[in-house]
Amino acid sequence: MRVTFTVNGSRESVDDVWEGESLLYVLRERMGLPGAKNACEQGECGSCTVYLDGAPVCACLVAAGQVEGREVRTVEGLADGGRLDPVQEAFVECGAVQCGFCTPGLIVQTHALLARRPDPSDAEIREALAGNLCRCTGYEKILDAVRLAASRKTGAE
């Protein structure tokens, strides 16, 4: 089947999509957008997190046909041209990235958290990131990065 939707601001059509395929597969294997990662395909790890109509979701659990006519934003769509999003910058600066597999999902989820709550408490950060697993960092530097991004965001406003 053909699926037409908006991805990172541009309207795209993809052909020959299998009806049982996930949005994650379409993004990675058919559209050349490998930012969202495939680690568990069962909603447990959050590494495939993308925005669907403004809400962060696990792309592995969205059927491709369900995005027809809708809007998807992936980690590739966060940077402004060559300029990284402040959340991305903070992850780099804090050393919140080791193997990097969890990073795109954490970045999108953090981006969504700060859009909703620019100055989150630690408890709110932990709650927001509860569905994103990292096997490398031990999370401390990820929390640092979220706090740094938040402080810059609130500082700038």
Partner 1 sequence: MEFLRPLSWEEALALRAGRPDAVPIQGGTDVMVEINFEVRRPGALLDLNPVRELAEWEMAEGRLRIGAGLPYTRLIEEVGDRVPGLAQAARTVGSPQIRNRGTVGGNLGAASPAGDCHPPLLAAGAQVEVESAAGGVRMIPAEEFYLGVKRTALRDDELIRAVWLRPAEGPQHFSKVGTRNAMVIAVCSFAIALHPAERRVGTGIGSAAPTPLRAAEAEEFLAGELAGEPAWGRSLPDGLAERFGELVGRAAAPIDDVRGTAAYRRHALAVMARRTLTWAWQDRLAGTGRS
Ligand X SMILES: Cc1cc2nc3c(=O)[nH]c(=O)nc-3n(C[C@H](O)[C@H](O)[C@H](O)COP(=O)(O)OP(=O)(O)OC[C@H]3O[C@@H](n4cnc5c(N)ncnc54)[C@H](O)[C@@H]3O)c2cc1C
Q: What angle do CA 8, 13, 104 make, to 5 degrees?
A: 35
Q: Report the helix count and the strand count for the chain, using DSSP H and E.
A: 5, 5
Least distance between partner 1 and beta carbon 134 (Å): 14
Report the alpha-carbon distance of residue 50 to residue 54 in Å, rounded: 9
Q: Count residues near ligand FES (CB under 6 A).
A: 22
Maximum distance among all alpha carbons in the chain?
47
Q: Which of 21, 35, 137, 146 binds ligand FES (CB under 6 A)?
A: 137
From 37-45, 65-73, 92-100, 135-143, give the range in contact with ligand X by CB under 6 A.
37-45
Interface with ligand FES includes 138 (CB under 6 A)? no
Interface with ligand FES includes 29 (CB under 6 A)? no
For residue 75, how far is the Cα from the chain centroid? 5
Residues 35-54 close enough to bind partner 1 by CB under 8 A? 41-44, 46, 49, 52
Q: In what order do the strands lie in the sheet with 71-73?
A: 10-14, 3-7, 71-73, 49-52, 55-58
Q: What is the full DSSP assignment across 51-64?
A: EETTEEEEGGGSBG
Q: Which x/- pattern, by CB under 6 A, does the window 80-119 give for ligand FES? A: -----------------xxxxxx-----------------
Closer by beta carbon to ligand X, 8 or else 109: 109
Q: Which of 14, 48, 87, 146 binds ligand FES (CB under 6 A)?
A: 48
Closer by beta carbon to ligand FES, 76 or else 118: 76
Task: List, in order, residues 6 or more apart from 153 with CB less than 8 Å away.
Answer: 86, 114, 118
Least distance between ligand FES and beta carbon 141 (Å): 9
Least distance between ligand FES and beta carbon 83 (Å): 23
